[in-house]
Amino acid sequence: MNMLVDGEWRTDAYETTSDDGSFERQETTFRDRIRDDPDAEFQPEAGRYHLYVSYACPWAHRTLVTRALKGLEDAISVSVVDPYRDEDGWQFPPGKEGCTRDHVHDADYLRELYVRADPDVTARVTVPVLWDTETDTIVNNESKEIMRMLDTEFDSVASRDVDLYPEGYQEEVDRIIEEIYEPVNNGVYRAGFATDQGPYDEAVDDLFSALDHWDDVLADQRYLAGDRLTEADIAMFTTLVRFDNVYHTHFMCNVQFIREYENLWPYLRDLYQTPGVAETVNMDHIKEHYYTTHPDVNPHRIVARGPDPAFDAPHDRDELPGAPPSGLEAASADD
């Protein structure tokens, strides 16, 4: 796999699987924080920060959903990379549908921004990236932390009064995000990139055990943490929305489709139909990326044609206690 080593691009720099054939995800590199504090180095300001994302990537997708729900589209600009990632890494293709140029530095490759932030950086070049145009550097490239910052530190410049980490729910939200990460969010990758039967079987067992558990939880509550839409739902959504189109087939997570679950399937449709969310989903980018970028998994790079889940179908989840945040509903009515 490819990464930067001491600021130089290497195409053979690290392995994604351990000696026993299990998938290992490396830690992200830039971990500074934006804080709504006059003494903070990075303070929330409209127009100061820029997001680099891929519509294909579930981790980057978390930040796009949060940005949309909070109404930060005017405050935080975005550049979108090509869903196809070759040996040169994420790039900004001229004129490709759904992609953009690098609006800050007009770079050809995302790795150029990493080196601009740290000329001697050793890191995987991943999305999302939260860039500070004032100090001309990367603030953070860890999706969970960017999601939390957009949610909790940008109220002063947000156009929607939406709180996805509300008082009284925070401990539960943190617990759920941690609980679903390894078996679900990372679990699909553990299955798809396993190179031995044992690690694959373990990953699939963990994944579907977790999905069965959350299907049961959602039988009598609208959202993962109860009656409030939270960051935990965003973290679950970006995996579930890719599942039937990509993970089920491409990553061999084929024990069951999400659309076959009694509660997870209407829950997914409920989230998709929440104002602002559907616009962040680009299934063409998602499918192109996964089916063409992993030749070890799909050597002929053929993009699977189906399926076509009916994300817009009625879900009846509004019969359960809870509703989308009031600020979100009000903003949607004015749009």
99 given a catalytic annotation: no
Asked if 192 and 247 count as a contact pair (C-beta separation under 8 A), the reply is yes
Give the integer Cα–Cα distance in Å for 4 and 219: 46
Distances (CA, A) of 112 to 14, 51, 115: 19, 15, 5
The question of whether 57 is a catalytic residue gets the answer yes
Q: Known binder of ligand: residue 125?
A: yes
Catalytic site residue from 49, 52, 57, 99: 57
Residue 303 is assigned to a ligand binding site: no
Given strand 137-140, what is the order of strands in its sheet? 77-80, 49-53, 129-132, 137-140
124 annotated among ligand-binding-site residues: yes
> Does 25 count as an annotated binding residue?
no
Q: Is 142 annotated as a binding residue?
A: yes
The CA–CA distances, whole Å, from 142 to 60, 137, 249 equal 9, 15, 27
Name the catalytic one among 189, 223, 272, 290.
Answer: 189
Q: What are the backbone angles phi and psi of residue 117, rounded to the nearest 5°?
A: -75, -35
The 3-state secondary structure of 150-167 reads HHHCCCCCCCCCCCCCCC
Query: Do the annotations mark residue 332 as ligand-binding?
Result: no
- Annotated binding-site residue numbers for glutathione: 90, 124-127, 142-143
- Annotated binding-site residue numbers: 90, 124-127, 142-143
Catalytic residues: 57, 189
